[in-house]
A and B are shown apart, each in its own frame.
Chain A
Amino acid sequence: MAQNQPLSSDMLKGTLDMMILRTLSTGDAHGHTIAKVIERTSEDVLEVEQGSLYPALHRLEDRGWLSSYWGASENNRKAKYYRLTAAGRRRLTLEASRWRQMARAIALVMGEHVTEEGAE
Chain B
Amino acid sequence: MIFERLFRLSLFRRRSDRDLASEIAVHINEERAENIARGLSPEEADRRARIKFGSVRRVHEDLWQQNSVALFENLAHDVPYTLRTLARTPGFTLTAVLVMALGIGATTALFTVVKSVLLSPLPYPHSSRLVSLYESDTVSSTPTPWDPVAGGVFHEWQRATQSAAQMALVSPWQGYNVSASGGQLPESVSASWVSWNLFRVLGVAPALGRDLLASDDKPSAPATVILSNAFWKRRFAADPAIVGKTVYLDANPYTIIGVMPASFAWNFNSKTELWTAAAHESPYLMSTFDDHEFLVVARLAPGTTLAGLVNQVDTVQRHIKLAHPEASVHNRAIGRSLLDSSVEDFRTPLYALLAATVCVLLIACLNVANLVVARSAARQRDLAIRAALGGSRWRLIREHLTESLVLSTAGGILGLLLAMASLAWLAHSKIALARSEEIHLDWWALGFVIAISIITGLVAGLIPSLGLHAGQLLESLQSSSRSHSGGRSRARLRKVLLTAEVALTIVLLLGAGLLLKSYQQLRTRDLGCAVNNVLTMGFSLPDVHYKETTQKVAFFEQLLARVRALPGVRAAGLSTKLPGEGWGGDDDISVVEHPPLPKDQWIDFLRRGVDPGYFAALQIPLIRGRYFRSGERFGHAHVAIISDSIVKQYFPGEDPIGRHLTTGIDKETSEIVGVVGDTRWMISQPIRPTYYLPLFTGDSGGVSLAVRGNPNVDAESLALPIQKIFGQMDPDLPVHDVLTMKQNIGVATLQDQFNSILILAFAIIALVLAAVGLYGVLSYLVTQRTGELGIRIALGAQRMEVMRLTLTDGLAPVAIGLLAGLAGGAATVQLLREMLYGMSPFDWSVFLIVVVVLAITAACACILPAWRASQLDPAQALRAE
Contacts and interface: CB of A to CB of B under 8 A. Distances in A.
A42 interface: no
B62 A50 contact: no
Contact of A55 (B31, B59, B470, B477): B59
A93 interface: no
B389 interface: yes
Nearest to A75: B33
Contacts of B59: 51-52, 54-55
A51 B388 contact: no
B23 A51 contact: no
Contacts of B24: 51, 54
A32 B26 contact: yes
B588 to A, nearest CB: 85
Interface string A21-65: 000000000111001000000000000011110110011001000
- Which residue, of A31, A32, A78, has the highest number of chain B Cβ atoms within 10 A? A32
B19 A51 contact: no
Interface string A67-92: 00000011101111000000000000
Contacts of B16: 58
Contact of A73 (B30, B389, B391, B477): B30
A83 to B, nearest CB: 15
B390 A80 contact: no
Given A32-B30, A50-B31, A59-B66, A14 B388 contact: yes
A48 to B, nearest CB: 9
Contact of B478 (A11, A35, A108): A108
- Which 6 pairs, one residue from A and one from B, show the smallest C-beta to C-beta distance? A14-B390, A51-B54, A32-B30, A55-B62, A51-B59, A50-B53
Interface string B54-79: 11101100110010000000000000
A15 B27 contact: no
Contacts of B391: 14
Interface of A: 10-11, 13-15, 30-32, 35, 49-52, 54-55, 58-59, 62, 73-75, 77-80, 98, 101-102, 105-106, 108-109
B63 A55 contact: yes
Contacts of A102: 388, 474, 477
Nearest to A62: B5
A109 B481 contact: yes
A73 B23 contact: no
B52 interface: yes
Given A50-B53, A80-B23, A98-B474, A58 B30 contact: no
A91 to B, nearest CB: 13
A54 B63 contact: yes
Given A50-B52, A80-B23, 17 more contacts: A13-B389, A15-B390, A31-B23, A31-B27, A35-B27, A51-B24, A51-B59, A52-B59, A54-B59, A55-B62, A75-B33, A78-B22, A79-B23, A102-B388, A102-B474, A105-B388, A109-B480
Interface string B827-864: 00000000000000000000000000000000000000
A86 B470 CA distance: 23
Given A32-B31, A80-B23, A108 B481 contact: yes
20 contacts: A14-B389, A31-B27, A50-B31, A51-B54, A52-B62, A54-B23, A54-B24, A55-B63, A55-B66, A77-B26, A77-B29, A79-B30, A80-B22, A80-B23, A101-B478, A102-B474, A105-B477, A106-B388, A106-B477, A108-B481
A58 B55 CA distance: 17
Contact of A78 (B26, B33, B55): B26
Interface string B437-465: 00000000000000000000000000000
Interface in B339-374: none
B32 to A, nearest CB: 10
A89 B674 CA distance: 101
Given A14-B390, A32-B31, A58-B63, A51 B474 contact: no
A9 B26 CA distance: 23
Given A51-B59, A102-B474, A75 B53 contact: no
A75 B30 contact: yes
Given A62-B5, A80-B26, A51 B56 contact: yes
Interface string B20-50: 1011101101110100000000000000000
A97 B407 CA distance: 38
Contacts of A35: 27
Given A11-B389, A109-B477, A58 B66 contact: yes
Contacts of B19: 80
B33 to A, nearest CB: 6
A55 B20 CA distance: 10
A32 B33 CA distance: 12
B452 to A, nearest CB: 35
A14 B386 CA distance: 10
A14 B20 CA distance: 22
Nearest to A55: B62
A20 to B, nearest CB: 13
B657 to A, nearest CB: 97
B16 to A, nearest CB: 8
A31 B25 CA distance: 11
Contacts of A14: 388-391
B477 A98 contact: no
Contacts of A62: 5
Contacts of B66: 55, 58-59
B471 to A, nearest CB: 9
B482 to A, nearest CB: 10
Contacts of A74: 30
A53 B63 CA distance: 11
Q: Which of B19, B20, B27 has its CB near the most chain A CB atoms (within 10 A)?
A: B27
A14 B384 CA distance: 13
Nearest to A99: B388
Interface string B120-133: 00000000000000
A80 B19 CA distance: 9
A106 B384 CA distance: 11
Nearest to A32: B30
Contacts of A106: 388, 477
A2 B481 CA distance: 32
A61 to B, nearest CB: 10
B27 A49 contact: no
Nearest to A106: B388
A32 B478 CA distance: 37
A49 B50 CA distance: 11
A75 B470 CA distance: 43
Contacts of A58: 16, 20, 63, 66
B481 to A, nearest CB: 6
Contact of A54 (B20, B30, B389): B20
Contacts of A59: 66
A32 B388 CA distance: 27
Contact of A51 (B30, B55, B390, B480): B55
Contacts of A51: 24, 53-56, 58-59
B30 A105 contact: no
Contacts of B389: 10-11, 13-14
A31 B470 CA distance: 29
B31 A73 contact: no
Contacts of B27: 30-32, 35, 50
Contacts of B30: 30, 32, 73-75, 77, 79
Contacts of A55: 59, 62-63, 66
